Structure 1
Amino acid sequence: MNEIFNKALLPMIKDAYEEKDGILGYRQMTIKLNRERHLTVNHKRIYRLMGILGLKSVCRRKRKNYIHSTPEITAENILNRDFESSEFGTKWLTDVTEMKYGNQNKAYLSAILDLSDKSIVSFVVGHSNNNELVFKTFDIAHMTYPDATPLFHSDRGFQYTCKIFKKN
């Protein structure tokens, strides 16, 4: 059954390839056949059959350019895995956690935890993982405990290593 369908697909693929002067790769070929011929064909099948026919797109997909940057380490690891504290407000941990809800929704929880009693000092929930979320969390902690001068410990994620965070 599959072999018969594959043999019927081969001339369709070759015709579509020649019609578009070899521009179509397997992704666009799949879309074209599924839409114009009202087929339901998987992209992996098209990829395999184009390989059998020796057809490749003459156009290459543009690569995404990423800016490689050296991660900025803000401070050495002073805490050094000593996650114990006898006094409140001397050692605080912070992190941002992604939570998924519904079909495709995400929320981000930024929290600060005190190591003396493992209590949450402050937290903020938002819909985007950005510096504003982290700054709000720190502002609430500072307003709630203005006299505290804790040692902050984080996972050195992008929110905590950026230049704006260092200034604040």
Structure 2
Amino acid sequence: MIVAWNIGVRPDASLVNTMLDNAVRTLQPNEYPVIHSDRGAYYRWPGWIQRTDNAKLVRSMSKKGCSPDNAACEGFFGRSKTELIYPRNWQNVTLWDLMEQIDSRP
């Protein structure tokens, strides 16, 4: 289940940390879910690990070259592209317009 997301122009620590902080705020007392990520540097960074440890989250990281580990996320992104991106003509649409469209989706 997706409980928080961020969108930005580059993947950086601020982007992933803000997303994690927003997700942690949705948790109920004594709720400690698994958080799954790819092997990106920001998910191996000590600051990320400390944040997940402080929230008592269980970290799960995909194995290198094992796409089934990310099947749920890849399915979500595939469905999103099918419903939002592919049916529209995005010529003359700025990156900021695209991000606003994505962020405003329920």
TM norm. shorter chain > 0.5: no
Higher strand share: 1
Greater RCO, 1 or 2 (C-alpha within 8 Å, sep 6+): 2
TM-score of the superposed pair, with normalisation by structure 1: 0.28
TM-score (norm 2): 0.42
**Greater Cα radius of gyration, structure 1 or 2:** 1
In proportion to residue count, which structure has more helix? 2
